[in-house]
Amino acid sequence: MTLDGSRPRRVGEVVEANSASFTAQCYNLYDAPPLGCIVRTGSPEVYGVVCRIATEPLDSSRPVLARGENAETEEEVFRDNPQLTRLLTSRFEALIAGHREQDTDRQYLPGLPPPVHSFVYTCDPAEVARFTSQLDLLRLLLNSGPPMADEVLSACLRGAAATHTDPKAFMLRAGKALAVELAGDLPRLNSILKKVSP
């Protein structure tokens, strides 16, 4: 998704996948879509919500060392160690929020996860609005388990609201749907609502 309304673009490809989530590696360092962003991969399309972005060494056996003790600026560190950008990579994990089947959005898990090396694209606003016209993905996200699920969820809603013609009405509808899901857990509901409150 591109919140600034720019065209969808290819941001990376799937390097690891399971039924509930997939991990993609970005082609460019620090080029991961933001938290809560809706991305698409595979054919037929599988939609995911970005939940964990990490920049780490390509080779996990070679930890990153601090190198800027004598440098004046951060840019100087990269200028003095041009190999660094080649040793680091940005990866992000996306929770699978649904898929497309026979031209219909299905907000439940696909039969198979996307294949590794599937390209991952951001979605344009129309696609996001279409996909979030249903809100069953809220339940998938709430029950996804990661400790930051609520953060991901609220970021996703904030982003999606902007793509709808009436963001307030969308948010209200989403809030009510959340209230139904979290009827027995008011503190959690309150904290999410505060995060998405316009």
The residues binding other proteins (CB under 8 A) are 104-105, 129-135, 164-166, 169-176, 178-180, 183-187, 189-190, 193-194, 197-198
Shortest Å distance, C-beta 87 to other proteins? 44
Shortest Å distance, C-beta 171 to other proteins? 7
The nearer residue to other proteins, 18 or 102, going by C-beta atoms, is: 102
Strand, helix or coil for residue 14: strand
Burial class (CB in 10 A: 0-12, 13-18, 19+), 176: exposed
Shortest Å distance, C-beta 196 to other proteins? 8
The nearer residue to other proteins, 92 or 170, going by C-beta atoms, is: 170
The nearer residue to other proteins, 19 or 197, going by C-beta atoms, is: 197
The nearer residue to other proteins, 11 or 161, going by C-beta atoms, is: 161
Tokens of 89: 């990579």
The nearer residue to other proteins, 52 or 195, going by C-beta atoms, is: 195
Shortest Å distance, C-beta 129 to other proteins? 8
Tokens of 173: 């509808």
Shortest Å distance, C-beta 150 to other proteins? 15
Shortest Å distance, C-beta 127 to other proteins? 11
How would DSSP label each residue in the chain? --TT-PPP-EEEEEEEE-SSEEEEEESSTT-PPPTT-EEEETTTTEEEEEEEEEEEESSTTS------TT-SSHHHHHHH-TTHHHHEEEEEEEEEEEEEETTEEE-S--SSPPPTT-EEEE--HHHHHHHTTS-THHHHHHTS--TTHHHHHHHHHHHHHHHSSSHHHHHHHHHHHHHHHTTT-HHHHHHHHHHH--
Strand, helix or coil for residue 23: strand
The nearer residue to other proteins, 133 or 143, going by C-beta atoms, is: 133
